[in-house]
Structure 1
Amino acid sequence: MTHTRILTGITTTGTPHLGNYVGAIRPAIEASQDSAMETFYFLADFHALIKARDPRVVEQSRLEIAATWLALGLDTNRSTFYRQSDIPEIPELAWLLSCVCAKGLMNRAHAYKAAVADNEEGGSADPDRGITMGLYGYPVLMAADILMFNANRVPVGRDQVQHIEMARDIAGRFNHLYKGQYFTLPEAVIDERVQLLNGLDGRKMSKSYDNTIPLFVSEKKLLKLIRKIKTNSLEPGEPKETEGDTLFQIYQAFADTAETEAMRQRYAEGIGWGDAKNQLFELVNEQLTAPRERYYSLLDDPGHIEQILQQGAEKAREEAAKTLDRLRSAVGLGRFI
């Protein structure tokens, strides 16, 4: 049976929040339960070093994100779950890809262009001021993550589509230069059903805006944060619109169809904001109570998490080693005998 390979990386630079869960973690875990899919999920801790300068932040984030995925039910017997930094074949592949990647392609990367634009707008005489090779070469490392395992599909947000296109360009260039089908050309997957949740202030939920609701805060803290969600000044009894409303959007992300329609009717009937926030809390908290308990139990046993990640790395390296042996031979770096 031919499986479709799906690969997703999770950058270890912060604490997972509701938006991460709805937009990436939940659909990824659902995909891992599909027998037609072969799933690779990894902690992108090399990528984290591009922005994170505090080693304690990276270390804690790696632990929290690994615990989050496991607490939410990722079956590591069905998926390959590993840390990027545990697979030394990946940076080696990144070098092989760098040697066929055109500099002009990197010049067009959105993140690099944005950093240059910030310098120019700030009046810097050096457009590359403060820009590291990590930021500049980020798309090549991402391509290595994907191409190492010849992933067919890579779920990403719209802001990451360019990186998948660059991975395809680099893979195609390598295949052409070395006259073989060494790499599968990956496809970006954007699930239109998955919404980007808004945060406390109505903007996209993001740690950059400091408007997130962390996934596994205590019940008391969860209720406090939900009560801080920005709403308009309509009084109880006044009909309210669901379109563009953050409370309703988050409710819908956790509710089934019947619950969503019932809440939509309550909005039309003029539910008070306090009541709406309490109902949102009850819904979200009910779904997160059991995973929350598992999460904190896992954090108390980092050795267990480490064991799972090492087992995942062993599976990943077994395949990566075979891929890299073939690539070394292709470029002339194979063994003499």
Structure 2
Amino acid sequence: MGYLGRMTQWKSKLSLPSNASPLDPSPSNKDALKLGLFSYPVLQAADILLYNTTHVPVGEDQAQHLEFSRELAIGFNHLYSTSSSSEPLLTVPQTLLSPAKRVMSLTEPTKKMSKSDPKPKSRILITDSREEIHNKLKSALTDSIEGVSYDRDSRPGVSNLVDLIYHFDESLAASPEELAKDLKGLSMRALKERAADTVDAGIRDIRERYEELMGGNQKALVQHADDGARRAEEIAEATMKRVRSAMGIGW
């Protein structure tokens, strides 16, 4: 309970001050308390550990959750592994941090881009058409300062567009800051068009493959899903067999 209560996302989503107790929030925040939000890292850890996952690619906001998964695995192995066993009961996953640690909302660039945001224009989906991407980037929130510069604190909207361009094509510059210097003469309209073109080029192949699959043989897709589910079940059951045996639980 204490570990979960200290999770950054748990505190931030309840808008708790940093010195507040996450297990005893103010009355104004009690209505926002949700078991699903609080226990989410446990369910995430189960999904990771059940399938002997060795590496997990995550963004900056999920790194703490993955560390929780690692702690659970290490703790369980320490408690239940025997000296005669050379293999750990649970695989301790390694963290793979994405270079693009955090992509921000197009409408509120001080917030993380999220698929659950009620504003469709706040996010780019990998299924978005070229026209949809350009429309969303065209209305992205920036500022009235002339020219392009990179400062996440004072120019979050402009910096977010620079980040998008940089992370979709890191060959352009050594860093977002360097890229911003190369783009400094662009107008906001030109910057948005450049970002839209870059994003569209980056997801075009994925989008086209998705459309190809969805427009093709649906029975084959269902068969692939069923085959994957069977393989996942076999791995999960093998993990649970080891866990039950180590804990002395009959099944």
TM-score, length-normalised on structure 2? 0.70
Task: Give the Cα separation in 1 of the matches to 2:63 and 2:179.
Answer: 34
Contact 1:199–1:213 (Cα < 8 Å) also in 2? no
Give 1:178's aligned amino acid: Y
5 Å-filtered alignment, 1:205-284, equals 205-207=113-115, 208=117, 210=119, 211-234=122-145, 239-244=147-152, 245=158, 246-258=160-172, 264=180, 267-268=183-184, 270-284=185-199
SS in 2 for 1:137: helix
Aligned partner of residue 198 in structure 1, secondary structure = coil
Equivalences for residues 151-170 of structure 1 within 5 A: 151-170=53-72
**Per-residue displacement from partner, 1:219-273 (whole Å, max 9, x unpaired)?**
22222111112233245xxx432444233222222224247899756533x2233
The one-letter code sitting in structure 1 at the alignment partner of 2:247 is V
Name the structure 2 match of 1:28: none
User: Which structure is higher in strand share?
Assistant: 1
- Secondary structure of the structure 2 residue equivalent to 1:324: helix
Q: Distance in 2 between matches of 1:110 and 1:317?
A: 32
SS in 2 for 1:253: helix
SS of the residue aligned with 2:95?
Answer: strand
List runs of 5+ in structure 1 lacking aligned partners: 1-102
Alignment partner of 1:174 out of 76, 85, 93:
76
Q: Name the structure 2 match of 1:199.
A: 105
What is the count of residue pairs matched by the alignment?
A: 225
Identity of matched residues, %: 29
Q: Does 1:331 align with 2:247?
A: yes
| Distance in structure 1 (CA, Å) of the matches to 2:50 and 2:3 | 20
> What is the letter of the counterpart of residue 214 of structure 1?
L
CA contact (8 A) 2:134 2:196 kept: yes
Match of 1:312 in 2: 228
Unaligned 5+ residue runs, structure 2? 15-20, 83-87, 153-157
Secondary structure of 1:120's aligned partner: coil
Give the Cα separation in 2 of the matches to 1:248 and 1:106: 34
CA contact (8 A) 1:254 1:284 kept: yes
For 1:121, the aligned partner's letter is: S
Query: Does the aligned pair in 1 maintain the 2:105–2:114 contact within 8 Å?
Result: yes
Structure 1 pair 308/259, CA: closer, same or farther in 2 (3 Å)?
farther
Structure having greater relative contact order (Cα 8 Å, sep ≥ 6): 1
Q: CA separation in 1, counterparts of 2:194 and 2:138?
A: 11
Cα shift readout 1:148-174 (whole Å, capped 9, x = no counterpart): 233233222333333333323332332
- TM-score if structure 1 supplies the norm length? 0.55
Do the aligned partners of 2:150 and 2:162 also contact (CA within 8 Å) in 1?
yes
The answer to whether the Cα contact below 8 Å between 2:5 and 2:22 also exists between their aligned partners in 1 is: no
Per the TM alignment, residue 182 of structure 1 is displaced from its structure 2 partner at its CA by: 1.2
Code of the residue aligned with 2:104 in structure 1: it is N
Contact preservation (8 Å) 2:55, 2:93: yes
Q: Which runs of 4+ in 1 moved over 6 A?
A: 259-263
Contact 2:149 2:181 in 1 (8 A): no
Counterpart Cα distance in 1 of 2:130 and 2:113: 20
CA–CA separation in structure 2 for the residues paired with 1:247 and 1:111? 24
- 2:46 corresponds to: 144
Shift of 1:133: 4.3
**2:26 corresponding residue in structure 1:** 121
Residue type of the partner of 1:186? Answer: P
Letter in 2 for 1:333: I
Cα pair 1:298 1:304 within 8 Å, conserved: no
Give the conservation status (yes or no) of the 8 Å contact 2:56–2:93. yes
CA distance in 1, matches of 2:144, 2:4: 48
Contact 2:126 2:206 in 1 (8 A): no
| Distance change (3 Å), C-alpha of 1:321 and 1:251 | same
Shift of 1:320: 2.0
